Structure 1
Amino acid sequence: MIIYTIGFTKKSAEDFFEQIAQEGIEVLIDTRLNNQSQLAGFSKGKDLPYFLERLANCGYRYEKSYTPTKDILNDYKKGVISWADYEIKYYDLIRTRNMVNDFIEKYSNYSKVVVLCSENTPEHCHRRLLVDEIAKIVDCEIIHL
């Protein structure tokens, strides 16, 4: 299995959908807390499934249980907690919400999946933390787009 990650910010719709199509990704897993934001543009949760299917022959799943809590995300964005604190809190969520086992149950039959969030790069994004934990259990390759 290959698990990709992607953020939509600083990407044009063309770049975003071309990357997904060129990689042959079978399903996109949306892990954004707010996937309906006006700032989401082409990646709004209500429009994204249509575009993925039409432009990249890719399925769509929204996994709210994989998102950080509003409190954790807001505290990090406002500088109340550091990235290290954010990681600790999100890793706790991964365990308490049983995200890794849930991912295995739902997505282990796919050969190429992509985990979506907003952040342009994975360094300070929960999608990286999640796929790193999945990779401890699942034999997979991780590619950050």
Structure 2
Amino acid sequence: MELFTIGYERASVCDFLVTLQRVGIEQVIDIRELPQSRRKGFSKNQLAGHLEGAGIIYRHFRQLGDPKHGREAAKAGLFDEFKAIYNAHLDLNASLSALKDVASLAFEKKSVLLCYERDARYCHRKIVADRLSVLYSFRVNHLGVREGIGEADSSRQGRSEFARASI
């Protein structure tokens, strides 16, 4: 089975949705602890609405979010500390249960793990994806959102339904 990850940093909603559609994503699994964003369209309810308009299911797993002290370590550039904090968080029973639930969902539908950071190397979603790969034999692919892909795609297709619904 294949599992994808994606970050929306610097992305527009339109470019983000086109990226998901081109890969055939059926389900977004949001693993932000706090699914709020200063980036327009990426807070939980807005994002869920955009995804629904594109025919993509939205799920949120707060338990797999990076705890505050892990986020602080990452922001400070202390990536070894960040990884240690987050790996310890994933070893909690509640996190292991959430991982099992995510794996079950990802076995049923083509899924992507969502967080903010553009580069998966510096994001907890890579740690989650790696853990799911070890536990459940997922092949992991990290996606990037290419700027302008949504505008180019919608002009080529006469402004597709999902692009219209998402803007």
TM-score (normalised: structure 1): 0.88
Q: Could you report, residue by residue, the CA deviation over 1:1-38 in whole angstroms, capped at 9, with x for unpaired residues?
A: 2211000112222220011112221211111133223x
Q: Which residue of 2 aligns with 1:62?
A: 60
Q: Could you report, residue by residue, the CA deviation over 1:97-134 in whole angstroms, capped at 9, with x for unpaired residues?
A: 45344333342542411000000110110000111011
Is this contact kept in 1: 2:33–2:61, CA < 8 A? no
Looking at structure 2, the residues matched to 6 and 36 of structure 1 have their Cα atoms a distance apart, in angstroms, of 16
Q: Which residue of 1 aligns with 2:27?
A: 27
Cα 1:32–1:69, aligned 2, differ >3 Å: closer, same or farther? same
The one-letter code of the counterpart of 2:50 is F
- Residue 96 of structure 1: how far off its partner (Å): 1.0
Q: Is 1:114 aligned to residue 112 of structure 2?
A: yes
Greater fraction helix: 2
TM-score (normalised: structure 2): 0.77
- Residue 40 of structure 1: how far off its partner (Å): 2.6
Q: Which residue of 2 aligns with 1:89?
A: 85
Looking at structure 2, the residues matched to 111 and 50 of structure 1 have their Cα atoms a distance apart, in angstroms, of 19
Q: Between Structure 1 and Structure 2, whose CA radius of gyration is higher?
A: 2
Q: Could you report, residue by residue, the CA deviation over 1:51-85 in whole angstroms, capped at 9, with x for unpaired residues?
A: 11112x11011111000111221233135xx1011
Cα RMSD (Å): 1.7
Q: Which residue of 2 aligns with 1:47?
A: 46
Q: Is 1:12 aligned to residue 46 of structure 2?
A: no
Is this contact kept in 2: 1:100–1:133, CA < 8 A? no
Using the aligned pairs only, state the percent identity. 25
Is this contact kept in 2: 1:36–1:44, CA < 8 A? yes
Structure 2: state its 5+ residue gaps: 144-167
- Selected match of 2:74 from 57, 62, 76: 76
Looking at structure 2, the residues matched to 135 and 98 of structure 1 have their Cα atoms a distance apart, in angstroms, of 19
Structure 1: state its 5+ residue gaps: none
- Residue 43 of structure 1: how far off its partner (Å): 1.1
